[in-house]
């Protein structure tokens, strides 16, 4: 299950394989046990997951980048730089 936000894909790690035992469909959302864990859950795209199969517990990002999105991000940066440079040159010609 993937939602397309243009450059970045939001994925549901519930459908990922466990990073420890590599078993599919065994990950479940885990509740934060302490303040630090709830802060990480709150401010980063990483969420706590637990594996029903091997007992692994850790953070998995809910966002993923693919080759297409990386190209898109690079082209945005290039476009922004070129636009910035052009605006800078135009402003420079007015100052003279
Ligand atoms: Zn596992």
**Do 83 and 58 belong to one domain?**
no
- CA of 20 from ligand 1 middle (Å) equals 5
Instruction: Find the distance separating the first CA and the last CA of the chain, reported in whole Å.
Output: 56
pLDDT at 16: 86
pLDDT digits (tens, 9 = 90+) for 37-59: 999 888 888 899 999 999 999 99
Residues of the chain with pLDDT under 50: none
- CA of 34 from ligand 1 middle (Å) equals 22
Owning domain of residue 73: 66-96
pLDDT at 87: 95
CATH code of the domain in which 5 resides: 2.20.25
By C-alpha distance, which of 60, 64, 45, 46 is closest to 3? 64
| Cut 0.85: pTM above it | no
**Do 30 and 76 belong to one domain?**
no
pLDDT at 69: 78
pLDDT at 13: 81
**Do 51 and 77 belong to one domain?**
no
């Amino acid at each position: 299950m993937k939602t397309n936000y243009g450059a970045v894909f939001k994925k549901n790690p519930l459908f990922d394989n466990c990073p420890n035992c590599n078993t599919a469909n065994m990950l479940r959302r885990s509740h934060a046990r302490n303040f630090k864990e709830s802060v990480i859950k709150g401010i980063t795209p990483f969420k706590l997951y637990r594996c029903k199969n091997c007992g692994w517990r850790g953070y998995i990002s809910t966002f993923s980048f693919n080759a297409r999105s990386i190209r898109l991000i690079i082209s945005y940066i290039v476009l922004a730089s070129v636009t910035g440079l052009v605006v800078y040159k135009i402003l420079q010609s007015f100052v003279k």
